[in-house]
Every structure is written in C-alpha cells, then in structure tokens.
Structure 1
C-alpha cells in the first residue's frame, strides 16, 4: 500500500499532476485507510505506469 508521498516518489510526478489524472478518472482508485487517510495498491500504480510507458 502506497501513500501519496510514496506515489509521488515512485512516479516522479507532482501531486498536482496526479490529481489531474485522478480528476480525469485516469488513475488507479484510492483505498480508504481511515477517516482521513487513503492509499493506493502498489501493483495498480505499477500497472498504470506500464500503461503510460513509464514503467520498468
């Protein structure tokens, strides 16, 4: 499970660019971890990066 700071580091993208992808519904779904916390499955972020041609 990755938090936003980890997603930023892994993708090399800014938070604002990630939020643009999210608002365009072109980003993996977030998972509620608590009342004010969300995370992302690492394997979904990896697959998304591969789809963009930015993965390994």
Structure 2
C-alpha cells in the first residue's frame, strides 16, 4: 500500500500531461464564489416568488 503524506511545497501538482488541459484546469480561488452566490440568490428569489414559501420557511430549509 502506498504511503500518504502531506507536502509542504507551495506549488501545485501537475494533473495532465497536455499543457492546454493543465492551463485550463487552473482557476482563481474566488471563481466558485462568483458562480455560487448568483445561483443561490436566484434560487432564493424563485423560492420566495412562490406564494406558499415565506422567509422563515426559506431560512429553515437553508439551515436544515
């Protein structure tokens, strides 16, 4: 069985042999935030547009 260890090297590990795929696999750390926050806001807005769903129920569903 291979040994598992934590590297102290600040560099990233190469994932692909193809340089193009390697370049496209990198992303800025804020990219998930820029994608997730608008999606969550849209979903919350759509949920509140439904007459049977209120703010307290939406918050309870998010926390559940």
Determine if the TM-score, normalized by the shorter chain, exceeds 0.5: no
Q: Select the structure that is richer in strand.
A: 1
Instruction: Indicate the structure whose relative CO is greater, using CA pairs within 8 Å and at least 6 residues apart.
Output: 1
**Which has the larger Rg?**
2
TM-score (norm 2): 0.25
